[in-house]
Amino acid sequence: MDWKLELAFIPVSDVDRSIDFYVNKVGFHLDYDQRVNENLRFVQITPPGSACSIAFGEGLAPVPPGTSALQIVVGNINQAHDELASRGVAVSDVQILDWGHFVRFEDPDGNRWAIQYLPNRPNG
C-alpha cells in the first residue's frame, strides 16, 4: 500500500497577504480559494511539479502563525535560489552540507521553508 502525503497545512495571520506571497513571489499555483462561511476560508496552493499541496486560511489551523516548517526537494539548487531571489523572496545563500545543498526562506508570518538539492539522487 502506498501512503501519499498530498496536503500540508500552515498557519497564517493574513490569508490575502499569504496568497500574494506564495503565488506572486514564490511562484506556487493557486488551486482553490473558497470562503465556506464567515468563520471558515480554505486556500490551497501547489508548488510547481509537486504532488503535495499547501493549505491555509481562516478557521483551519489551531496553532499560531509562523510555527510551521516545510521542505521541498529540487533538481537544481542554484536555479531555485535565483528564481526565488528574482521574484523578491528574501532567500538565503546556497548552503552546501554533507547531506544536501539548501536555501531557506520564511513567509510573512515566519513559517520556515527549506529548499534541498540532493546531488546523489536522480533529479535531486
Q: How many helices (H) and strands (E) does the chain have?
A: 2, 8
pTM for the whole thing? Answer: 0.86
Q: Taking the domains of the chain in order of start, what are their residue ranges?
A: 7-59+68-117
Whether residue 41 contacts residue 58, with contact meaning beta carbons closer than 8 Å, is answered with yes
pLDDT of residue 103: 97
Q: Domain 7-59+68-117: what homologous superfamily? A: 2,3-Dihydroxybiphenyl 1,2-Dioxygenase, domain 1 (3.10.180.10)
pLDDT of residue 119: 87
Q: Please report, in tens digits, the pLDDT of each residue of the chain (124 residues total).
A: 567 788 999 999 999 999 999 999 999 999 999 999 999 999 999 999 999 999 999 998 788 999 999 999 999 999 999 999 999 999 999 999 988 999 999 999 999 999 999 988 766 5
